[in-house]
Structure 1
């Protein structure tokens, strides 16, 4: 099996784009994060919405990983107002997938932040940080096949999909409408 070392960056990275700040989580993010995770439109391509308890647990995990590694799934806020709009970041999946070990790009934004280019702007910055500051050789992203919005972001990032790598998500039962997932890859020498 290939050796995979999770990179560490200290102090914790904060990423600033023209319109966004990707930063460490704050206690004040808990309410808007829970509201976002309870929105069925945001969670359409997940098995269910999240309870407040599960949302708080996720926030704590994201904050703790950034504190330990210096990078992870960052909270995203608008620079001009400081409003929390969701998360974008890099993560190492904690369950068995056909392509692990890997680092994945992940995102989730509030509905009123959709369609404004925020996700692509933040994802580009995260991918750039992954390659230039963390020294990653490849970043992947995956989603359920019906999630064409996320696939569009992956394509805008220059990621490529090989349908032969489509897989059944191991945490979803046989026959679940979201079980079949597609995998997109981007290597450091293919960055546009």
Structure 2
């Protein structure tokens, strides 16, 4: 089982008891504001998403990690790697993304987990490049992206929702682990 420990977090595969807290995160309009069309997701949609995330682990050898606080065992959300099939113009590519509950914002958890995930991509999975896709205006994600050393590669538009997107990239041979 793939697990990464950072000073404050455990990045791990998904457990059944992660469903309710992840569904709470996905049901928060503040969290989902920058995701797809901004719609919240209910318990069933979250369960389906978690199944897809686990399938990606099995098929690709990487996926979205559940992010657990080491001190309390709380699920903070996810950080991980996926293939951004919704944006065919960037394929083939692997994307790093994150989604944390608002009570975990502003504490450096996303940056800590994302940094560990980039190390995983480079050292354990042998990837040489990772991208991150953010909605224009999502300043919090842009801040994490900058901390990771990623640079703007292109501006584009979501092919379904028409929202403006920024695509950032990092060559992992230049990533400072």
* Same topology, TM > 0.5: yes
Deviation at 1:39, TM superposition (A): 0.3
1:40 alignment partner in structure 2: 29
2:45 alignment partner in structure 1: 54
Cα distance in 2 between the residues matched to 1:190 and 1:67: 28
Greater CA drift, 100-109 or 65-74: 65-74
2:12 alignment partner in structure 1: 23
1:148 alignment partner in structure 2: 139
Deviation readout 1:123-177 (Å, 9 max, x if unpaired):
0000011011111010000111011110110000000014xx101111214xxxx
Cα distance in 1 between the residues matched to 2:78 and 2:87: 23
1:90 alignment partner in structure 2: 81
Deviation readout 1:36-75 (Å, 9 max, x if unpaired):
0000111111211112221111011112222444421010
Q: Is the 1:13–1:71 Cα contact (8 Å) retained in structure 2?
A: no
1:8 alignment partner in structure 2: none
1:111 alignment partner in structure 2: 102
1:157 alignment partner in structure 2: 148
Q: Is the 1:98–1:167 Cα contact (8 Å) retained in structure 2?
A: no
Deviation readout 1:17-42 (Å, 9 max, x if unpaired):
11100111011000001110000111
SS of alignment partner, residue 98 of structure 1: helix
Pairs within 5 Å for 1:179-190: 179-190=163-174
Gaps of 5+ in 1: 1-11, 174-178
Q: Is the 2:56–2:82 Cα contact (8 Å) retained in structure 1?
A: no
Q: Is the 2:67–2:79 Cα contact (8 Å) retained in structure 1?
A: yes
1:128 alignment partner in structure 2: 119
SS of alignment partner, residue 19 of structure 2: helix
SS of alignment partner, residue 30 of structure 2: coil
Q: Is the 1:97–1:169 Cα contact (8 Å) retained in structure 2?
A: no
> Whose helix proportion is higher, 1 or 2?
2
